[in-house]
Amino acid sequence: QVQLVESGGGSVQEGGSLTLSCAASGHFFNVKYMGWFRQAPGKEREAVASIIIPILDRTIYYENFVKGRFTISVDKARNTMWLQMNSLKPDDSAMYYCAASARAAFVPTDKDAYAYWGQGTQVTVSS
């Protein structure tokens, strides 16, 4: 089992920045990749960014709507993943979830590939 706890959400003005963190505990050695998803009220949960955990293969995936604005990173020694979010827009407002997968195949946008989820942290961007 892997436990995930997000933090760092909050309210910012449009154009502002936030850094989300996801602290993992438990059997983290089983985790192959991690990702950030978000869900706005009335909308489906959508992928934001994902990263492969093994150091020799830090493949990263970004959804087009965050490319150039968000940066995902991970520190395996600290079992922590971050999402640096810059140039935030009102459309970025959502509950942000951290997720972890033990699957070998990297399928970053498939919610079913992630067995472990955090409780979420709220991000609100006002115009």
- Looking at every residue in the chain, the average pLDDT score rounds to 95
In the chain, beta strands by DSSP E: 2-7, 10-13, 18-26, 33-39, 46-52, 60-62, 70-75, 80-85, 94-101, 116-117, 121-126
Would the pLDDT of 3 be above 90? yes
Task: Report phi then psi at 69, rounded to 5.
Answer: -115, -35
Q: What is the pLDDT of residue 64?
A: 95
**pLDDT tens digits for 11-70?**
999 999 999 999 999 988 889 999 999 999 999 999 999 999 876 777 999 999 999 999
Separation of first and last alpha carbons in the chain: 40
Closest alpha carbon to 70 in 40, 90, 97, 49? 49
Taking the C-alpha atoms of residue 14 and residue 32, their distance in angstroms, rounded to an integer, is 34
Q: What is the pLDDT of residue 82?
A: 97
